[in-house]
A and B are shown apart, each in its own frame.
Chain A
């Protein structure tokens, strides 16, 4: 097997829920030794998160937890025990990265702020993910993914005109805060490799969201225009670039939809050919993009009439073959069972898990030619690697580990 690109990078993972674990999932997928520090009195809530397999949560039977926490090791450590805190510090001393997504101030209350971490390990890379960052007047405020989406402007821009916002339907900003943290950590590792210096990465989930809406902010600061106005959000019609047709259209079956985006005049002509040139496509009102924009209601109705008697994937293939941008709105079942692209690229992989059995995982993007990521192991059972990690990383003997175990340090 090729060397994993982040082999040799040890990460002390104090994160939980989704944002932080998303960052450490990527690092683990590419070979970092991610050590998830857990405590039985305050377990990662995702260990209880649905879907679970079986009647009751056991801490080890959440499919959701398995999805986010593959390729990691888990140790139990009671940091409220003086020996526990000492062991955490000894682990940090032999690690490259410390990452947490507690509320701002929590790690400082453990007496483990960045200066303290530097005393333990001079070149440590410390990444904190919090709602609002560690400075500024609202740093005490907290977010969950949907809060960052609301405050950052993502929720409002998703919806049908005249309706309440639809939002994103999931914690898009937990994924994206995790990606932003990953990018910052990797840059910090590169910088450390060049200079020997570590640093503190102060990631605010709200800021990771506001940066995703730059053009809308500039429309206000340059043109004086707010997004809170008649006609916005425009549903699945285009905001910018202003093009038509651009929408979702119903297909045969229950809740089956195809998205079609016509960006150029050539693509409009291709769409007409793909539909076998029904008479309405040569209607004057649809001759130019500007005119199609004005007459979107009737245009969308014509296209919906055409799609509604057709099968979704066949229509996608027909349109794509003609050079029209189109795709089925895929449900999770579609991606797993039908999507021929994911299948052809071996996207679905299996990993064995003690309680969950033979579990399916999505593969690793992006694909590196020389040092690709690897699915090495399913998510850890709680505390599965306590003995292994403390023996290996700190050189503790069996007897010492037993002693700490008795003293209630590993719980």
Chain B
């Protein structure tokens, strides 16, 4: 079996914004040729690095976001010959994924109007911070700036008693870039399904700003229907009314997400028995706790506050993972607030083969990293080879270009 995109040829010119979109296609079998300038993609300069030593082939950020791609160095800014090679490559490709500033493609004669003449089935996706037109089209962005403008950040923050006057908080891990990349790939694949029927390609204008503005859950509806802005709360959903805390600290110092208590009688009964077996929640046998609506903070329940206080004492007496597992056994969707790296200790994820081993410059042996975002029965995710060294495949790819029977 091979990936669902095994026959797909992609040319990518992307740095931090867009490289994850290339990975999502490469990991499903597409041949993604990444064009880089002679000094390499700026993403090669993003840490952490192997042993904290910077170097074009030592960025772990780059390793992760460029699996299964081939790297070709072309000097598009200074060489017409290299621009011609890029056009030849795109002419033979199904997808051109680029993150060039608006207008730059035209300067390089790598714009859709030029490319479509020779390759009418081309799907050309341009991913940019704010889109191809409009007053902000040429504005610069970053992961922080994008999450600020797009709206997600305004929902993350603190109750005043935890951090008075605190700003909206930037969740880490390039999540603005990731959401932008998800939209780019959804667009490319939609165009691909359309092309399966029509044979024709098209141009896609993917704005990270619009992707993020589409991804803020209940934030927009509250404004659109009641002219109310939600406010930020520590470690739980932003809301228009103050809600009970969701994060409680366990004995080992880790936080646990604790919520959804008392909705169903079945899980409430199990929770009660579990807590009482540890000497907590004796009062829960009283009749006043029997009514589900009395138990729910969101419904203004009278007993809810008391329940949360007792659960908080209970959590403080156990280790976080014991709370997580015990609560799940009661049918409650609680979870340990893990550090990203603690996921590699999760045996369930290993049961599913979620982690794969990669290698690279400066690393002796191999190291685990997350693998498939989805398990597909017919066309599986596949780690074929690690992120390329800068220019690793220049000769190989240009040879194939001259002789299409290769590759």
Contacts and interface: CB of A to CB of B under 8 A. Distances in A.
A167 B236 contact: yes
A370 to B, nearest CB: 4
B341 A219 contact: yes
B48 A181 contact: no
Interface residues of B, number: 155
A365 B369 CA distance: 30
B46 interface: yes
Contacts of B48: 215, 218-219, 223, 225, 240
Contacts of A30: 190
B219 A207 contact: no
B308 interface: no
Contact of A217 (B174, B189, B205, B340): B340
Contacts of B156: 158, 166-169
B153 to A, nearest CB: 6
A153 B342 contact: yes
Interface in A126-181: 131-133, 135-144, 146-148, 150-160, 163-172, 174-176, 179-181
B12 to A, nearest CB: 16
B214 interface: yes
A165 B337 contact: yes
Given A199-B377, A207-B372, A194 B236 contact: no
B343 A182 contact: no
A151 B210 contact: no
B186 A26 contact: yes
Contacts, number: 515
A157 B134 contact: no
A175 to B, nearest CB: 4
Contacts of B145: 259-261, 325-327
Given A155-B235, A187-B28, A204 B352 contact: yes
B363 to A, nearest CB: 6
B214 A165 contact: no
Contacts of A49: 218
A158 B213 contact: no
A382 B194 CA distance: 31
Nearest to A182: B186
A282 interface: no
Which of A153, A259, A333, A365 counts the most B-chain CB atoms under 10 A from its CB?
A365
Nearest to B355: A217
B363 A158 contact: no
B281 interface: no
Contacts of A228: 339, 341-342
A172 B152 contact: yes
A220 interface: yes
B61 A217 contact: no
A189 interface: yes
B148 interface: yes
Nearest to A65: B221
B111 to A, nearest CB: 12
A222 B339 contact: no
A187 to B, nearest CB: 4
B139 interface: yes
Contacts of A51: 218, 221-222, 225-226, 228, 240
A235 B112 CA distance: 40
A347 B182 contact: no
Contact of B343 (A151, A199, A328, A368): A151
A136 B247 contact: no
Given A336-B220, A366-B184, A214 B135 contact: no
Contact of A150 (B140, B186, B206, B336): B336
A77 B234 CA distance: 41
A147 B335 contact: yes
Interface stretch (B32-40, B69-77, B161-169): B161-169
A165 B148 contact: no
Interface in B101-130: 112, 125, 130
6 contacts: A187-B4, A190-B193, A201-B374, A250-B167, A333-B229, A366-B205
8 A-B pairs closest in CB distance: A153-B340, A199-B378, A169-B155, A63-B225, A214-B64, A220-B341, A158-B171, A186-B189
Given A154-B173, A202-B374, A246-B144, 11 more contacts: A6-B190, A143-B335, A146-B335, A153-B339, A154-B175, A179-B182, A186-B189, A207-B373, A250-B167, A340-B134, A367-B207
